Amino acid sequence: MKAVQLRKSIGRYLSVKALGRRFPALLTSPLGLVAMREVPPLKLPSPQWVRVRPKLSGICGSDLAVITAKSSLLLSPLTSTPFTFGHEVVGEVVEVGDAVTQVKVGDRVVVEPALCCFVRELNPPCSRCAEGNYACCERLTEGIIGAGVQTGYCRDTGGGWGEELVAHEWQLFRVPENLSDEEAVLIEPFSCALHAVLRAWKAVESPPQTALVLGCGTMGLLTVAALRAVERATQRKPMRLIAMAKYLHQSEWAKRLGADEVVPTSGDSYRALQQLCGAQLFQPELGKPTVLGGFDVVFDCVGSQSSLDDAVRWARANGIVVVVGMPAQPKVSWASLWFKELRVLGAYAYGVEEWQGKRVRTFALALDLLEGGFVSLRGLVTHRFPLTQWRQAVQTALQAGRRCAIKVVLENLATSPSLGSWGRSP
């Protein structure tokens, strides 16, 4: 079967890191870190595992960070190669193990990619998995499969950028009939955004009145959507929600999803934000302004040095900063963190949430919010390519601003009902 995989090589890594920005075509060339290969079918690791044929699989910022050699090396010891990319997946069950009871052949499912103790069939599970925080599993190199934090970063599971993958039945959620494939493929990143919002809400003593979302790529837009979805579902009074976007098409989407105002990153963004939230600005001898006042909660959905610096500046005293975008290797001054007595929360993936007096898995809650009409993600998949055109797909995702792209997905020929829309808006 065909699969787009990482080619682990120190030489390739150094070449891409040094030359990739200047020569972007290098990233998807034979000299890059990624290649489509013909690989043997994967074995089901145990009778509780399932074979899934991907229908659509998203290209995530974390995938691009690996391809461009910009990702943090923190998780590199927790992966096994060669791995097949793709952790945002909607697909069809094509084979089930003898002990599977939760799904059947023909079911349309989304894959929760966390490769935690339950997936690795480790008993007893680690403390984090036992409490429902399984995205932070502490036994990611043990069990019946190789090392890997998620599907798409483990040699034994495959990924959505291949013609097949295998998953434990615990990872699979059936997709409601009223959700399209284009909406379903967004369940994974939407669950990340939803988890970030609920972590922030859990940390505050009273509902926040103001929020700032930095970055309006897929994760930023889904964070805006999650904020409004939680308000609607819980009948909370709407907060004042401001977003910061780099491109015009992102700004339009942010407003459509519920942002009250969107500030462009170009121009004097600090002055624009000041006028919206009533903060005071004071200019030091060098660098960005010092901010007094600001927002109750700031969501950094970029993870760059500049965005993290902006986030801690724009959170009000005793406010909260939530790091949603995967940080690379930024150097940030934490003077604002110290001076304002801020709380900084990481928001990685998903788990079990406290929701209206019950404990529910984030994926299940995300599906319920979409099925119940509390949020719509229609139209966010802007570009679709067949798996064999993975190079064009990756280049489109890398040039999201110029291509007016939000979510770029790969489509599996074997499960596609139509070939007419590939490479264009669905």
Numbered ranges of CATH 3.40.50.720 in the chain? 192-348
- What pairing do the DSSP bridges indicate for beta strands 280-282 and 49-58? unpaired
Tokens of 8: 């682990």
pLDDT in the model for residue 419: 34
Give every residue of the chain whose pLDDT is below 50, as ranges. Answer: 416-426
Cα angle 169, 44, 42; round to 5: 120
Integer Cα distance of 71 and 75 in angstroms: 9
Q: Which two tokens stand for residue 62?
A: 């974390």
Among candidate residues 334, 304, 309, 246, the one with its CA nearest the CA of residue 70: 304
Q: State how beta strands 290-292 and 280-282 pair.
A: antiparallel
pLDDT at 416: 47
User: Contact, 374 vs 346, CB < 8 A?
Assistant: no
End-to-end CA distance of the chain: 26
Q: What is the pLDDT of residue 73?
A: 77
Q: CATH 3.90.180.10 in the chain, residues? A: 2-186+378-415
Dist CA 32 CA 304 (whole Å): 23
Averaged pLDDT score across all residues of the chain? 94
For every residue of 170-230, DSSP letters joined together read GGEEEPPTTS-HHHHTTHHHHHHHHHHHHHHHHH-SS--SEEEEE--SHHHHHHHHHHHHH
Strand 49-58, strand 407-411: pairing: antiparallel
Single pTM value for the model: 0.94
| Residue 75, pLDDT score | 81
Considering the four listed CATH numbers 3.40.50.720, 2.120.10.30, 3.10.20.30, 3.40.47.10, the one that applies to the domain covering 192-348 is 3.40.50.720
- Beta strand residue intervals within 59-125, DSSP E: 89-96, 108-111
What's the confidence (pLDDT) of residue 329?
65
Q: What angle do CA 367, 210, 351 make, to 5 degrees?
A: 30
- E strands, 260-305, where? 261-264, 280-282, 290-292, 295-300
- DSSP-assigned letters across all residues of 31-49: TSSEEEEE-PPPPPSSTTE
pLDDT digits (tens, 9 = 90+) for 59-69: 999 999 999 99
Tell me: the pLDDT tens digits for 106-120? 999 999 999 999 999
The conformational region for residue 81 under phi > 0 = left, psi -120 to 50 = alpha, else beta, is: beta
For residue 319, what pLDDT is reported? 96
CB atoms < 10 A from the CB of 413, how many? 12
Task: Provide the CATH number for the domain formed by 2-186+378-415 in this structure.
Answer: 3.90.180.10
Q: Cα torsion for 384, 381, 364, 104, to the nearest 10°?
A: -20
CB distance 226 to 193 below 8 Å: yes
